[in-house]
Amino acid sequence: MNFSTPSPEDFYRVMPELLWCGFGVLLMLLQPLTKNRAFLTVVAFIGAAAGTASSLLGVRYAGMGFFGLIQSDTFSLFFHVLVGAVAVLVILAAEPYLSREKLQGAEFYALILFATAGMGVLASAQELLTAFIGLEMSSIASYVLAGYRRDTLKSSESSLKYFLLGSFATAFFLYGIALVYGASETTLLTGMGHVADSQLSLLKLGLALILIGLGFKVAIAPFQIWTPDVYEGAPTPVTALFAAGPKAAAFALLLRIFATVPAATQYWFWAFWILAVLTMFAGNLGALVQNNVKRLLAYSSIAHAGYILVAFAAVTGMTSGESGNAGGVPAYAAVLFYLLSYALVKVGAFTIVSQLGGKDEKYVTLEDYAGLSQRHPVAAAALSLFLLSLLGLPVTAGFFGKFYVFKAAVNSNLIWLAVLMAVNSIIGAYYYLKVIVAMYMREPSEDSAATAPISFPATVNIVLAVSAIGTVYFGLFPNQVLRLLLEKNLIGGLK
């Protein structure tokens, strides 16, 4: 390997990260110079959008970059666009929130951009230490973001919890890297295919620790305990980011490890099977008893991590050679489509929650949502759409997401897992319906201040429109994205 200067193409391959970080730094520099919120928001918006757009550039220069540290391929493009779009939407949705809560704008946006850059690195990392850097970039920014409402107890609690548990997880991840390096004498994913038999158990152990580290980030049971508290305490736009972005990026890394390291796929099948079941039940049963919509959505995002793990189990089940995949959607594509539909919905849903919360996020219980259909019919309709998408009802993106995961599971003969997922969908239906029932079928409590009609700022309406239209569009025409996801060389190392 030649560690001379990287080629110019390499810089195109990390252009999104460069732009995101660059604009992040720029915003922090602008902070002391201007008090103009709108201006800062526009800069942040341009930064996020430019970074996202520039990820298309990476495709032109597909292939390994920086001596095999990162890989630019369709897979990384997909995730760059996904986390970039999430960042754009979160920035738009956060602006009214920040001015309502009287919080600084520039730092907030800068942190979001840094976190997004970290997610971008995670999505294209082809080497474990690079992945670690990406993970840390996104995590550290996230810890700060979670505590951004620093004068409220809950937000500080959220930040501290996230930080402490996140540090543990990172440690696991690092130990894993160390062990894997010990076994394979490389941290490049591509180099881990040929491990001597004597080292195999060490490799397995290392990969297991990596799984734990990433499992924490995506909130897989039994590493999910932090999720509801952190999601609840964090400012709601940040929660939207947490639910959509880091989760997608961490899943991206997991997928890439699968695609490139054969040893990973062979031993993780039962692990994923069990983790999927645990996670689905932990999320759904937890959500059943929630009265706080933010917590409810937090538990639901645990459950959804479980559904995605079902597809992971299908990936591993498939490669162990049980069933062909003729004409179907491979489990990889199922995961990606699921993440897309899920991100759209969660950003939209949390945006509505952040708007309805009012000053200091007071109105977040189901009682506060009662009669919303009369106070703000559009918000009620949009939130219902998002919840129905989470529930997996047809004509929403969530339906196809779930459908493809189901299909992947059935394809790999994981009928029991599919049935358990079905059972969980029913449990999930109950608490999603609870919110819809509150909005449409219950009368608002009369003494509550939350009965006044409300209207949303324009930026929020844009976010909601994008999420809602995206949800319906992908629910009617999933073809467009699938065609991209079904490309043969979706993941660089995938045969």
Binding site residues, other proteins, CB under 8 A: 323, 326-329, 388, 393-395, 399, 403, 406-407, 410-411, 415, 418-419, 422, 425-426, 429-430, 433-434, 437, 440-442, 477-479, 482-483, 486
CA distance 1 to 407: 42
Closer residue to other proteins in complex, CB, 199/323 = 323
Please state the closest distance from residue 296 (CB atom) to other proteins, in A: 15
Closer residue to other proteins in complex, CB, 391/463 = 391
Closer residue to other proteins in complex, CB, 320/479 = 479
Please state the closest distance from residue 378 (CB atom) to other proteins, in A: 11
Please state the closest distance from residue 181 (CB atom) to other proteins, in A: 39
Closer residue to other proteins in complex, CB, 80/407 = 407
Closer residue to other proteins in complex, CB, 186/323 = 323
Contact between 281 and 380 under an 8 Å Cβ cutoff? The reply is: no
Length in residues, the chain: 495
Please state the closest distance from residue 395 (CB atom) to other proteins, in A: 6
- Two tokens, residue 321: 């050679």
CA distance 264 to 200: 11
Burial of residue 483, with CB atoms counted within 10 A of its CB: 0-12 exposed, 13-18 middle, 19 or more buried: exposed
- Residue 358, φ and ψ in degrees, nearest 5: 70, 180
Closer residue to other proteins in complex, CB, 50/484 = 484
Torsion of CA 263, 250, 473, 306, to 10 degrees: 70
Say which DSSP state 395 is in.
T
CA distance 348 to 467: 5
CB atoms inside a 10 Å sphere around CB 197: 6
Please state the closest distance from residue 327 (CB atom) to other proteins, in A: 6
Closer residue to other proteins in complex, CB, 424/459 = 424
Please state the closest distance from residue 231 (CB atom) to other proteins, in A: 25
**For helices 293-319 and 397-411, angle between their N-to-C axes, nearest 10 degrees:** 30
Rg (CA), the chain: 21
Please state the closest distance from residue 448 (CB atom) to other proteins, in A: 19
Closer residue to other proteins in complex, CB, 53/423 = 423
Closer residue to other proteins in complex, CB, 94/438 = 438
Convert 425-436 to b/e letters by CB count within 10 Å (16 or more is b): bebbbebbebbb
- Two tokens, residue 105: 């704008």
Please state the closest distance from residue 38 (CB atom) to other proteins, in A: 33
CB atoms inside a 10 Å sphere around CB 308: 25
Please state the closest distance from residue 342 (CB atom) to other proteins, in A: 18
CA distance 367 to 475: 30
CA distance 109 to 452: 31
